Amino acid sequence: MAQEVPPQLRWACRRGMLELDVLLGNYLNEAFLNASKQDQDLFVELLSENDQDLFMWLTGKETAKDAKISYMVEKIREHARNRH
């Protein structure tokens, strides 16, 4: 049986800003299931951050102080740059 993204993760990727919805949703739909367990766990951890911080990090205006979070942000940004 094919692995599916848990519905609660889909819901958690719906933020309050279109930019976040697109970046997080695209990563979830296109890269999450193929990511390592460690990266999947980091993505879930990232979703607990507030929208303003996520926006600043994902748009490259700021860098997360936590190296693990910064790593996951860069994975999402890289995915966005390399789509299509």
The CATH number of whichever domain residue 61 belongs to comes to 1.10.150.250
Number of domains in the chain: 1
Q: What percent of the chain has pLDDT over 70?
A: 98
User: Is residue 75 a part of any domain in this protein?
Assistant: yes
3-state SS class at 15: coil
User: Is residue 3 a part of any domain in this protein?
Assistant: no
Q: 3 or 20: which carries more pLDDT confidence?
A: 20
Average pLDDT, the chain: 94
Domain range spanning residue 23? 18-81
Question: Which residue, among 66, 17, 20, has the nearest Cα to 45 in the 3D structure?
Answer: 66
Q: What is the pLDDT of residue 2?
A: 58
Query: In the structure, what pLDDT confidence band is assigned to residue 54 with cuts at 50, 70 and 90?
Result: very high
Query: Cβ–Cβ contacts within 10 Å for residue 78, how many?
Result: 12
